[in-house]
Structure 1
Amino acid sequence: MTQPSAAPALQAPTLARIVRRVTGRLLPVLLLMYVLAFLDRSNLGFAKAAFQADTGISDAAYALGAGIFFLGYAVFEVPSNLIMRRVGAKIWLARIMISWGIVSALMMFATNEAVFYLLRVLLGITEAGFFPGVILYLTYWIPVQHRARVNGYFYFGAPLAFIFGGPLSGILLDLDGLGGLHGWQLMFLVTGVLTVLVGFVVIAFLDNGPADAKWLSETERQTLLAALEDEDRDKADHSPRGALRALANPVVLFFGLAYFTIQMSVYGVSFYLPTQVSALVGEDVGLGVGLITAIPWVAALVATFLLTRLADRTGRRREIATAALAAAGIGMGASVLFDSPVLALVGLSIGAAGFISVQPIFWTLPTSFLTGAAAASGIALINSLGSLGGFVAPVLKNAVDEGVGSGAGMIVLGGIALAGAVLILLVKRVARGAAAIAERTDAA
């Protein structure tokens, strides 16, 4: 798999300056969007104990509801990205946020299993396309030689959601009874309303692409567009032709399998981290547990900052992604093998650092392979397949814990992360093999 050529050497400092300006303009809004997206998903983990106590929903029903979100999400990813490519990122990303914020707020009415399942499915459908839409959107602005670092800034949203959102969720849970509402109802209501408000900010602030960016000078626009067009020409040699062909491309499917293992580790931890920390420290989930839960995400923030820069500087993105996901698997398994709460928290911190930092680096691999309509559908398909990991992880963890014993599920998920590290290491070999098969087919 070849890498796109960079802008001419004489333009490199100018291009780097333009990318910094673009990053400073777009990333604050995109980062806030992702913070709310991840907070929306992690809220269910914070609400778990109080939510189940108030509604009587069982562990199995909770696990199914947590995972069923990803079924609707996965089905609508590809159509959403193709629509965004046609109507423009600004309007479509805003639509996604406003609709999912409304459904998220309605989660306050999930007082039985039927409503819980229905709202989780609707939440997945309305949020579908957000993440692959942003990944695609960044390819419109950021050349590949800068993309791991900028993707990394975007991925700060996940740890920041826990660092700041964890205590916020804890405070809202501690306000149980305010206005006649349970704490978990307040939590869903407040975060849902915030998401809707940010959706209107997106309409006012984002541009569809560099050609629409009046805050760039004409020279800056042309330099950036030239670098991106140069990259697209290089990708055209190996990218599938068209949206439909990308959906059946073996390299795209292999990327999807690798991303599936990453998402298994992410959601196997995030849905259960607050209750796991609660058990470690012997306290109910509230502000205190929220503050302790922030520790692994601080580690994730630091690791993402350092590793994405290392990946862009060295160009060894595949190897660094492999090492990060392997560390995640080891940390996840180790977190349940120690009786000491401190050592268990260290394991969780290594796990979170690994599975968060691997993702922005991972996404530089398929985005350096796909272009045009194939990028829209291929990125969405990879994310869809990965999202199924979010469905499988909580169900699998709960089943293994019940069948084998508490903690066994996390060890299994750690093993899956290690398998994912092997898959990432093999990506280049798979791409070469697929290219050779395609050449033989064309020759015949």
Structure 2
Amino acid sequence: MISDLEARVSRKLMLRIIPFVMLLYFVSFLDRVNVGFAAMTMNNAIGLSPAAFGLGGGLFFIGYFLFEVPSNLILHKVGARRWIARVMVSWGIVSAASAFVVGPTSFYVLRFTLGVAEAGFFPGIILYLSLWFPTRQRAVAAAWFMAAAPISTAIGSPLSGAIMKLPTMWGLADWQLLYIIEAVPAIILGFVVLKYLTDSPSKAQWLESDEREWLIARLKMEADARQSHAGHTAGALGALRDPRVLALALIYFGTSAGLYTLGLWAPLIIRQYGFGSFETGLIAGVPSILAVVAMIMWAKHSDRTEERTWHVVIPCVIACLGFVFAGGASSALMIILALVVVNIGISAAKAPLWAMPSVFLSGAGAAAGIAMINSVGNLGGFVGPFAIGWLKDVTGGYAAGLYVVGATLAVSAVVTLLLSRQAKQAPGAVGERHGH
């Protein structure tokens, strides 16, 4: 039974922290994938081939990969409030500057720089949530936070499509206006973060003293229990060498390949069926709304049953089958149905997956390990979009690339099962029921 005090704290945490971090991620994701809509006119304007667009779209993740771990370790040192504010202002500036690319080279440079600027945001928030939410709430908290990505697609796609219908203003084309308009919220929110975010429960004046004491004691008890496990890792170097961290990164790789293939290529894949830019935005948004519902319900079930492995495997298999279906689709209706299946699978897998690292990582180990999983995993965001663009140049269609992305999700499902089997044979199990 949950006590009245625990229920009160849970409610306050959900209301104070989750809507705000969702807003931040909403803006982050919008700035990351609006290049898919800009591409409708930008590619011709600056001379980008499908392969060059796929490469540039993916270079974001190389910058992200290189700076992710250092960024999260700095956040662990200086606190989330200051560091996340810095991240948001810098990526907003770079995103706005993307309006002034003039050819493939400047496009590549700006995409790489955007990745550097944004490095540390997502794992920083995941780490931040682990400092506030007890284990029993963690998958649901992560699910609500990550629901901002499909919500961003659902709202942001029609919004981006509408901006792409604007006439030339101040000498700026539609794609240039898109970058600038959607970059402004990130810069403003960076300054809001400094005022609103609280670094740790001990500084939370918005909790009553008994609520604060209960939360600090509960989190300390869970941390002590983790540290008594033989499989626990607290140091940064130990976390980077931990095979479980590398396995989780490989699992995340497939989900990232799928997510960013959708973000970057779905508008262009849908548009080939003769839809206008606004209609394309509406159609791209529909699967995301269904994905949000599936994501929250699946995370709640994962937290309630305290099971993670199958809660990752099943959605990965569903997403894989969705990509195979998309590759064979021959009508607009088939491609939309396939996108619904893919969206639901990818979104549902993420929260149970992100509930796994905090079972065996803490302190600097959690900062480094979570950043490592995210940075290596996000290389899937480079491989997926690049494979689609390169194979489209080679084959003239999207099918081969969609099958490749589907295969990465099949690998994610297999690695999750192998990790679970290894965990059963060793202390500090990652994927199975674990003591709360």
1:279 offset after TM fit, Å?
1.5
Partner of 1:273: 266
1:202 — aligned with what? 193
1:255-334 pair list within 5 angstroms: 255-280=248-273, 282-284=274-276, 286-334=277-325
Select the residue among 165, 171, 186 that pairs with 1:174: 165
Indicate conservation of the 8 Å contact 1:239/1:374, yes or no. Answer: no
Question: How much does 1:399 deviate?
Answer: 2.7
Q: Is this contact kept in 2: 1:251–1:430, CA < 8 A?
A: no
- Give the aligned CA root-mean-square deviation in angstroms: 1.5
Structure 1 contact 264–390 (Cα < 8 Å) conserved: yes
Query: Structure 1 residue 24 and structure 2 residue 15: aligned?
Result: yes
Does structure 2 conserve the Cα–Cα contact (< 8 Å) formed by 1:251 and 1:434?
no
Q: State the shift of 1:404 in Å.
A: 4.3
2:413 counterpart of 1:421? yes
How much does 1:365 deviate?
0.8
Residues 100, 126 of structure 1: 8 Å contact kept: yes
Partner of 2:348: 357
Structure 1 runs not aligned, ≥5 long: 1-8, 437-444
Look up the match of 2:376: 385
The alignment-based identity, stated in percent, is 38
Q: Structure 2 CA distance, aligned partners of 1:164 and 1:196?
A: 20
Q: What is the match of residue 404 of structure 2?
A: 412
| Cα separation, 2, equivalents of 1:327 and 1:14 | 39
Contact 1:68 1:121 (C-alpha < 8 Å) held by counterparts: yes
Q: Which runs of 5+ in 2 are unaligned?
A: 429-436
Contact 1:263–1:389 (8 Å) recurs in 2: yes
Greater CA drift, 288-297 or 93-102: 288-297
How many aligned residue pairs are there? 425
Instruction: Supply the distance in 2 between the matched residues of 1:230 and 1:241 (Cα, whole angstroms).
Output: 16
Deviations 1:279-321 (A, max 9, x none): 23x124x211111111110111111121111111111222112
Confirm whether residue 93 of structure 1 aligns to residue 100 of structure 2.
Answer: no
The 8 Å contact of residues 323 and 421 in structure 1, kept in 2 or not, is answered as yes
Shift of 1:434: 6.2
The alpha carbon displacement at 1:12 in A equals 4.4
Does the 8 Å contact 2:234/2:366 carry over to 1?
no
What SS does the aligned partner of 1:178 have?
A: coil
Kept in 1: contact 2:270–2:335 (CA 8 A): no
Task: Work out the CA distance in 2 between the residues paired with 1:107 and 1:205.
Answer: 29
1:113 to partner: Cα distance:
1.5
Contact 1:250 1:434 in 2 (8 A): no
Q: Check the 8 A contact 2:50/2:393 in 1, yes or no.
A: no
Cα distance change of structure 1 residues 434 and 377 upon mapping to structure 2, 3 Å threshold: farther
CA offset digits 1:366-386 (Å, max 9, x no partner):
122211110010000000101
Q: 1:341 aligns with which of 327, 332, 336?
A: 332
Aligned residue identity for 1:257: L
SS at 1:193 equivalent: helix
Shift of 1:409: 0.8
**In structure 1, what residue type is equivalent to 2:261?**
G
Q: Find the aligned partners of 1:417 and 1:12 in 2 and give their Cα distance.
A: 40
Task: Measure the CA separation in 1 of the matches of 2:79 and 2:422.
Answer: 33
1:47 to partner: Cα distance? 1.2
State the match for 1:38 in structure 2. 29
Q: Could you list the per-position Cα deviations for residues 47-101 of structure 1 after superposition, in whole angstroms to 9, with x for gaps in the alignment?
A: 1121101111121111111111111111111111111111110000010000000
Which residue in the other structure is 1:119 paired with?
110
Q: Residue 431 of structure 1: CA displacement?
A: 3.2
**1:215 alignment partner, SS class:** coil
Q: 2:366 aligns with which of 354, 371, 375?
A: 375
The amino acid across from 1:299 in the alignment is L
Q: SS where residue 368 of structure 1 aligns? A: helix
The answer on whether the counterparts of 2:68 and 2:120 sit within 8 Å (CA) in structure 1 is yes
Q: CA 1:159–1:327 in structure 2 vs 1: closer, same or farther (change >3 Å)?
A: same
The equivalent residue for 1:245 is 238
Q: Deviations over 1:401-434 (max 9, x none)?
A: 3444521110221122122112122222233556
Note the alpha carbon deviations across 1:96-127, whole angstroms, 9 max, x for none: 00000000000000121121111111111110
- Kindly provide the CA deviation profile for residues 230-255 of structure 1, in whole angstroms up to 9, marking residues without a partner as x: 11112212222411111111111111
Q: Report the counterpart of residue 4 of structure 1 in structure 2.
A: none
Is the CA contact 2:50–2:392 (under 8 Å) kept in the aligned structure 1? Answer: no
Deviation (angstroms), 1:33: 0.6
- CA distance in 2 between counterparts of 1:364 and 1:109 reads 40
CA distance in 2, matches of 1:241, 1:41: 32
Deviation at 1:270, TM superposition (A): 1.5
Counterpart of 1:3 in structure 2 is none
Residue identity matched to 2:103: N
